[in-house]
Amino acid sequence: MNFLPEKLYNYIVAHSEQEPRLLQQLTRETYQKVLQPIMLSGPYQGRVLSMISKLISPKNILELGTFTGYSTLCLAEGLQKSGEIHTIDINEELVDFQRKYFDKSGFGDQIFQHTGNALDIIPTIDKMFDLVFIDADKPNYSGYFHLVIDKLNSGGVILSDNVLWHGKVVEPLEDRDKSTKAVLDYNTLLKNDDRIETVVLPIRDGLTISRKI
Ligand SMILES: C[S@@+](CC[C@H](N)C(=O)[O-])C[C@H]1O[C@@H](n2cnc3c(N)ncnc32)[C@H](O)[C@@H]1O
pLDDT in tens, 142-156: 999 999 999 999 999
Return the SS3 of 34.
Answer: coil
Question: Whose CA is closest to 198, among 183, 185, 213, 184?
Answer: 213
Query: What is residue 150's predicted lDDT score, i.e. its pLDDT?
Result: 98
The whole-number average pLDDT for the span 46-63 is: 98
pLDDT over threshold 80, residue 40: yes
> Is the CB of 180 inside a 6 Å radius of any atom of ligand 1?
no
Quick one: which H or E segment has residue 57?
none
Query: What is residue 4's predicted lDDT score, i.e. its pLDDT?
Result: 86
The whole-number average pLDDT for the span 116-120 is: 98
Q: Ligand 1 pocket: which of 67, 114, 161, 207 to mutate (most atoms <8 Å of CB)?
A: 67
For the whole prediction, is pTM greater than 0.95? yes
The whole-number average pLDDT for the span 87-107 is: 98
Burial group, residue 61, by CB count within 10 angstroms (0-12, 13-18, 19+): buried
For all residues of the chain together, what is the average pLDDT? Answer: 97
> Which residue's C-alpha comes closest to atom 11 of ligand 1?
65
CA dist 26 and 91 (Å) reads 17
The whole-number average pLDDT for the span 182-188 is: 98
pLDDT over threshold 90, residue 174: yes
Torsion of CA 87, 92, 93, 95, to 10 degrees: 40
Return the SS3 of 162.
Answer: coil
The whole-number average pLDDT for the span 52-56 is: 98
Question: Whose CA is closest to 157, among 190, 196, 187, 118?
Answer: 196
The whole-number average pLDDT for the span 78-83 is: 97
Backbone phi, then psi, for 11, in 5-degree steps? -65, -45
Q: Ligand 1 pocket: which of 64, 89, 111 to mutate (most atoms <8 Å of CB)?
A: 89
pLDDT over threshold 80, residue 30: yes
The whole-number average pLDDT for the span 163-169 is: 96
The whole-number average pLDDT for the span 33-61 is: 97
pLDDT over threshold 80, residue 2: no
Measured in Å, residue 135 CA sits from the centre of ligand 1 at: 6
The whole-number average pLDDT for the span 51-59 is: 98
The whole-number average pLDDT for the span 131-145 is: 98
